[in-house]
Amino acid sequence: MVKPIIAPSILASDFANLGCECHRMFNASADWLHIDVMDGHFVPNISLGPPIIKSLRKEIPKKFNEINENVKFFDCHMMVSEPEKWVEDIALNGGDQFTFHYESTENPLGLVKLIKKHNLKAACAIKPGTPVDVLFELAPFLDMALVMTVEPGFGGQKFMKDMMPKVEKLRQNFPDLNIQVDGGLSRETIPYAAKVGANVIVAGTSCFTSKDPQELIQYMRDEVKA
């Protein structure tokens, strides 16, 4: 059985106070931090990269629970061309998971092996225009699959409900796989994603603008469990 994981996306945070913003989310019981790395090439926007991840990791050291899970987990969503180039940097600078885009590489399985060689969790994302079937062969080797629910590149976009059949198909075939949704997730849209089996919920704008992020995170967790 997969468990609910709520991952606030720091793209929606106040970058001038990034360390405090990240602490604020972990204090509000966030399971992971979702870190959007954009290169201005794979997507039409530039966000942050390994040096900032390094500073964040120094500010928020890894902390392990009784089953050896890092409870200060950095989920790195790599919206970059040539993702192979960045695996080592993400590992050395304190990332925990490396999510590459299926559309960004010619050799997805080779990349998964490279990621695992660097002791990172390996995940693969698909853009809204990519059919979910491309993940079927790869899924047995993945720690997580990400079904994008907006076009990657910007926070604050509208949730694409028409992506839900992809999540549903993936869940039917892979009952134990972490399935993440990313883009436009909020109190209003989470029921659609939870109903079809998404268990890892990225929430940027909704978490960071919430007056009570702890309550929102718990609400989302309960929706996934229900």
Binding site for substrate, by residue number, is 9, 77, 153-156, 184, 204-205
Region of 37-45, 59-67, 135-143, 182-190 interacting with Zn ion (CB under 5 A): 182-190
For residue 153, give the nearest of 10, 50, 11 by alpha carbon: 11
Region of 13-21, 106-114, 197-205, 215-223 interacting with ligand DX5 (CB under 6 A): 197-205
**186 Cβ neighbours under 8 A, 6+ residues apart:** 159, 203, 205, 206
Distance in angstroms (rounded) separating the CA atoms of residues 81 and 176: 29
Helix and strand numbers (H, E) in the chain are: 8, 8
75 is catalytic: no
- Residue from 31, 75, 96, 182 carrying the catalytic annotation: 182
- Residue from 14, 31, 36, 96 carrying the catalytic annotation: 36
Distances in Å between the alpha carbon of 101 and those of 27, 114, 127, 201? Answer: 30, 15, 8, 17
Strand partners, 76: 35, 98
* H or E element at residue 42: none
Distances in Å between the alpha carbon of 69 and those of 36, 75, 81, 103, 117? Answer: 22, 13, 30, 30, 18
Region of 55-63, 136-144, 151-159, 161-169 interacting with ligand DX5 (CB under 6 A): 151-159
Q: By CB under 5 A, tell whether 182 contacts Zn ion.
A: yes
Name the binding residues for a divalent metal cation. Answer: 34, 36, 77, 182
Distance in angstroms (rounded) separating the CA atoms of residues 4 and 73: 14
108 binds, among Zn ion, ligand DX5, none (CB under 5 to 8 A by kind): none
Q: By CB under 5 A, tell whether 36 contacts Zn ion.
A: yes
Residues 78-137 that bind ligand DX5 (CB under 6 A): none
Distances in Å between the alpha carbon of 77 and those of 7, 98, 214? Answer: 11, 6, 23
- Least distance in Å: CB of 153 to ligand DX5? 5
36 is catalytic: yes
Q: By CB under 6 A, tell whether 202 contacts ligand DX5.
A: yes
- Give the residue at shortest CB distance from ligand DX5: 204
Site of interaction with ligand DX5 (CB under 6 A) = 9, 11-12, 34, 36, 77, 150, 152-157, 182-185, 202-205
What amino acid positions are annotated as catalytic residues? 36, 182
